[in-house]
Amino acid sequence: MSDHKTMTINLVVWRQKNANDPGKFENYTVKGITEHHSFLEMLDVLNEDLIKTGKLPVSFDHDCREGICGMCSQVVNGAPHGGQERTTVCQLHMRNFHDGDTIYIEPWRATAFPIVSDLVVDRTALDTIIQAGGYVSCHTGGIADGNAILIPKPAADEAMDAAECIGCGACVAGCPNSAAMLFTGAKVSQLALLPQGKAEAKARVKNMVEAMKECGFGNCTNHYECQASCPKGINVKFIARMNREYIKAQF
């Protein structure tokens, strides 16, 4: 290791035992953080300290730690995933912070995402939306020939842009209305753009929009805060496309 410069970081972390606990902020100090630590590794250092002193470590969701699984979910200094463009919090690095900084860490806050403990929230609601129509029904059997269904390149590209969504829920966390329109819009658009998805497009959009409401998400008022929060840069044009699909589905 070439550089020995380390940072001391002050953390204000949301601690909550379970869904019924009112929860509160706790202050911690972590020492020996280098610019190469990822944000989650910095929390690992904190948790090791806590375990050594016999305290309960801070629980947080994570899995791949390479920005593709969508598990990590923290609001860092008021921005989901820390607010760096196209970056999940697992890919956020401590070089973006300075020695002595105070960092607020909070869970996703939305009625539809009850807190499990500390920074871990229950995102089953997003699965419920997918189960309502975020799939294509097809007969299984022999593998189809690669080019059996021709897909125009622009449609394939746009579907791919929508498919970038990793289902993390940052869009909900960033939205002042806790709406799940960017997530649902991305899923509806991805399938509506492709020939395989067109067959069920009408039922899909209706059912997924209905499911959004039943899960307790809010209504979109076009703030576009979701796009700024999304670690994959999903564009609000997919919300417009979903609105279009929804209108088409009425006729």
Partner 1 sequence: MFSTSIGRKIVMAVTGCCMLLFAIVHLLGNSSIFAGAVGLNSYAQHLHSLPLPIIMAFRAVMLGLFLVHVLYGIQLTIENRTATPTSYAVKVSRKTTFASENMIWTGLLLGAFIVYHLLHFTFRVTPGLTLVNDAAGHFNVFAMVASSFSSFAGAGLYAAAMVVLFLHLYHGIQSFFQTMGWNCDCIQPKITTAGMLVALVLLLGYVSIPLSIFFGILKG
Q: How many residues bind ligand HEM (CB under 6 A)?
A: 2
Could you say whether residue 170 binds ligand SF4 (CB under 6 A)? yes
List the helix and strand counts (H, then E) for the chain.
Answer: 9, 7
Q: Which residue, 64 or 228, has its beta carbon nearer to partner 1?
A: 228
Whether residue 218 contacts residue 135, with contact meaning beta carbons closer than 8 Å, is answered with: no
And the tokens for 47? Answer: 């948790």
Residues 179-218 that bind ligand HEM (CB under 6 A): none
User: Could you tell which of ligand FES, ligand HEM, ligand SF4, none binds residue 182, using a CB distance below 5 to 8 A set by kind?
Assistant: ligand SF4
Which x/- pattern over 220-249 shows residues binding ligand HEM (rule: CB under 6 A)? Answer: -xx---------------------------
Q: Is 81 helix (H, G, I), strand (E, B) or coil?
A: helix
Whether residue 107 contacts residue 120, with contact meaning beta carbons closer than 8 Å, is answered with: yes
And the tokens for 132? Answer: 């309502």
Q: Which residue, 117 or 235, has its beta carbon nearer to partner 1?
A: 235
What is the separation, in whole angstroms, between the first and last Cα of the chain? 65
Whether residue 126 contacts residue 169, with contact meaning beta carbons closer than 8 Å, is answered with: yes
Alpha helices in 193-231 (DSSP H): 195-198, 201-214, 225-229
And the tokens for 32? Answer: 């020996």
Residues 14-43 that bind ligand SF4 (CB under 6 A): none
User: Could you tell which of ligand HEM, ligand FES, partner 1, none binds residue 18, using a CB distance below 5 to 8 A set by kind?
Assistant: none
Between vectors from CA 16 to CA 230 and to CA 20, what angle results, nearest 5°? Answer: 105
Could you say whether residue 165 binds ligand SF4 (CB under 6 A)? yes
Q: Which residue, 30 or 230, has its beta carbon nearer to ligand SF4?
A: 230
User: Could you tell which of partner 1, ligand SF4, ligand HEM, none binds residue 170, using a CB distance below 5 to 8 A set by kind?
Assistant: ligand SF4
Could you say whether residue 176 binds ligand HEM (CB under 6 A)? no
Q: Which residue, 62 or 204, has its beta carbon nearer to ligand FES?
A: 62
Q: Least Å distance between CB 225 and ligand HEM?
A: 13
Q: Which of 67, 83, 107, 169 binds ligand SF4 (CB under 6 A)?
A: 169
d(CA 245, CA 202): 7
Could you say whether residue 168 binds ligand SF4 (CB under 6 A)? yes
Q: Which residue, 61 or 158, has its beta carbon nearer to ligand FES?
A: 61
And the tokens for 124? Answer: 């089953």
CB half-sphere exposure, 78, CA atoms < 13 A: 3
User: Could you tell which of partner 1, ligand SF4, ligand FES, none binds residue 178, using a CB distance below 5 to 8 A set by kind?
Assistant: partner 1
d(CA 71, CA 74): 10
Could you say whether residue 215 binds ligand SF4 (CB under 6 A)? no
